[in-house]
């Protein structure tokens, strides 16, 4: 597989895993019934995974942002993003699996699956991210050639003429 395809696979897997974790964490995991004194009826409350563990959605959002960061970064920064994705994915898995005995098992399992996919995308980034291409050079800041450096007076003259001296 080409490095470009592997990068695309990692980005799509990361976004899909984070989306699945966000979706499943927002579903009802637990029904709580609070018995109240008579004549008040019992109070039924639906608790989502995000309500039970607010940091679960935060980690999934970090993973979703990491999918975009995989495209925009390169070199050691991309490796750091891979580590961040792996850690956040494993955090989602640990949080979701910690509620398996007390909640409806389907939503925590789907949340854990999403976290596992994110962690896998992070591990793939750590292992093979060095070979992936970066963004096109048109997004880089143009370099100043040694012969084209302008003096301070030339910059002020360009401003007086209404030109942008940074171009």
Q: Tell me, yes or no, whether 163 lies in a domain.
A: no
State yes or no: pLDDT of 10 exceeds 70.
yes
Q: Tell me, yes or no, whether 106 lies in a domain.
A: yes
Residue 144: predicted pLDDT: 55
Residues spanned by the domain of 69:
3-134
In this prediction the pTM is 0.77
Q: Tell me, yes or no, whether 154 lies in a domain.
A: no
Q: DSSP string covering 11-77, please?
A: HHHHHHHHHHHHHHHTSEEEEEEE---TTSPPEEEEEEHHHH-HHHHHHHHHHHHHHHHHHH--THH
Instruction: Provide the number of structural domains found in the chain.
Output: 1
Residue 138: predicted pLDDT: 62
| Rounded distance between C-alpha atoms, residue 63 and residue 77, angstroms | 15
Is residue 111 very low, low, confident or very high in pLDDT (cuts 50, 70, 90)? very high
Is residue 151 very low, low, confident or very high in pLDDT (cuts 50, 70, 90)? confident
Is residue 141 very low, low, confident or very high in pLDDT (cuts 50, 70, 90)? low
Q: Tell me, yes or no, whether 156 lies in a domain.
A: no
Structure-token match 């640990």, residue found:
94
Report the interhelical angle of 76-98 vs 3-25 (nearest 10°).
30
Q: DSSP string covering 83-114, please?
A: HHHHHHHHHHHHHHHHTTTTS-SHHHHHHHHH
If one compares 136 and 156, the residue with the highest pLDDT of the two is 156
Q: Tell me, yes or no, whether 41 lies in a domain.
A: yes
Residue 20: how many other CB atoms lie within 10 Å: 21
Q: Tell me, yes or no, whether 161 lies in a domain.
A: no
Q: Pick the closest to residue 118 from 19, 2, 6, 1 (CA basis).
A: 19
Q: Tell me, yes or no, whether 142 lies in a domain.
A: no
What are the backbone dihedrals phi and psi of residue 47, each rounded to the nearest 5 degrees, phi first? Answer: -110, 125
Query: Could you tell me if 86 and 47 are in contact, meaning their C-beta atoms sit under 8 angstroms apart?
Result: no
Kindly state the average pLDDT of the residues 20-39: 92
Q: Tell me, yes or no, whether 145 lies in a domain.
A: no
């Amino acid at each position: 597989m080409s490095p470009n395809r592997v990068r695309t696979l990692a980005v799509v897997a990361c976004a899909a895993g984070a989306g699945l974790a966000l979706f499943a964490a927002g579903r009802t995991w637990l029904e709580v019934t609070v018995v109240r004194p008579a004549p008040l009826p019992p109070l039924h409350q639906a608790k989502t995974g995000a309500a039970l563990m607010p940091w679960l959605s935060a980690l999934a959002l970090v993973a979703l942002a990491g999918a975009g960061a995989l495209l925009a970064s390169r070199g050691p920064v991309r490796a750091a993003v891979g580590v961040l994705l792996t850690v956040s994915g494993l955090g989602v898995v640990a949080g979701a699996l910690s509620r398996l005995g007390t909640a409806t098992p389907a939503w925590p399992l789907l949340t854990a699956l999403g976290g596992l996919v994110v962690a896998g995308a992070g591990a793939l980034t750590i292992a093979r991210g060095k070979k992936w291409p970066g963004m096109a050079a048109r997004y880089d800041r143009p370099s100043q050639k040694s012969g084209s450096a302008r003096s301070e007076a030339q910059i002020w003259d360009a401003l007086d003429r209404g030109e942008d001296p940074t171009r």
